[in-house]
Amino acid sequence: MKIAVVGSGALGLYYGALLQRGGEDIHFLLRRDYDAVSKNGLKIFSINGDFELPTVQGYRRSEDIGPVDLVLVGLKTFANDVLRELVSPLIGKGTNILTLQNGLGNEETLAELFGGERIIGGVAFLCSNRGEPGEVHHLGAGRIIIGEYVCGDQDRLKMLASVFNLCGIDCRITDDIKKARWEKLVWNIPFNGLCALLLQTVDRLLAVSHTRSLIRQIMLEVIRAANTQKLSTPIAEKYAEDMLLFTDNMGVYKPSMLIDREEGRQMETTAIFRKPLESGQNLGVAMHRVEMLATLLEQVGP
């Protein structure tokens, strides 16, 4: 399968590297890593075993890749205004688009640009950071959940999941991609928000009883909002405790928004905070803690 990776950060490089190692025809659209990857290839340092790809197909322009079978979108959501420019040259008659971006609204944006029938939603539960140019550090997890946006074509989901699983990526299919997105927001909103705001890693927050309790309360706010969104089944309150225990095992981990703030980059406040807030408030759910987090993050961001 010919696959273009648009948004070659820690997520895009990691999954693209696994797919290339598994035999797929991978083409990376690169910016800061272009020179390093072109010269030295790609290095993955992973809890599942390190590996190196000495030769990688990297490009500065989508036009040099041309039409592909699948576009894997890992772009930060604040850059969605360039999706038309980056993705259009990759579209052929049968091209599918899989978004693994954070937050809400990404499927809708892509559907408006390229047609809903092409769009597959995806949620990545991945702990990874970039190292030096051309290096990715995989620290934990890695599961992907995929689901149809509008098409309802289970066969293409099964085919895509099979490809990913054969390449060593735990990929599962859901009938409710909206629920999977909200489940990730239960983790993303408190940990990305508080870690970025306080400049602390997840373990530091969990080690203090008061901040651990605050995280739980934020998670419960998100769960209450999620359960107004016509999900296939409600998210149980116990899911918050499950996420706390899951995070206890991460050790010293920096969520993506903390890294973005440390490096002076824009943070994904709209997709991860403002859109979920709007979705909840439109259905009468007050999310006071989440709104406070969003407001403070917008004050400290670049």
Q: Point out the residues that are catalytic.
A: 184
Locate all alpha helices (DSSP H) within 56-135, ordered by sequence: 83-87, 106-114
Tokens of 283: 């259905």
Contact (CB, 8 A) for 293 and 273? yes
Instruction: Please tell me the distance from the alpha carbon of residue 7 to that of residue 15, in angstroms, as a whole number.
Output: 11
User: What does the buried/exposed string (b/e) look like for 36-66 if buried means 16 or more CB atoms within 10 Å of the residue's CB?
Assistant: bbbebebbbbbeeeeeebeebbbbeebeebe
Q: d(Cα 45, Cα 14) in Å, to the nearest integer?
A: 10
Longest dimension (CA), the chain: 54
To 10 degrees, what angle do helices 177-198 and 288-300 make?
50
Strand stretches in the chain, DSSP E: 2-6, 25-29, 42-46, 51-53, 58-59, 70-73, 96-99, 119-130, 135-148, 171-173
Q: Do residues 109 and 81 lie in contact, with contact meaning Cβ atoms separated by under 8 Å?
A: no
How far is residue 226's CA from residue 177's CA, in Å, rounded to a whole number? 12
Q: Which helix (H) or strand (E) holds 203?
A: helix 202-206
Residue matched to tokens 């997890």: 141
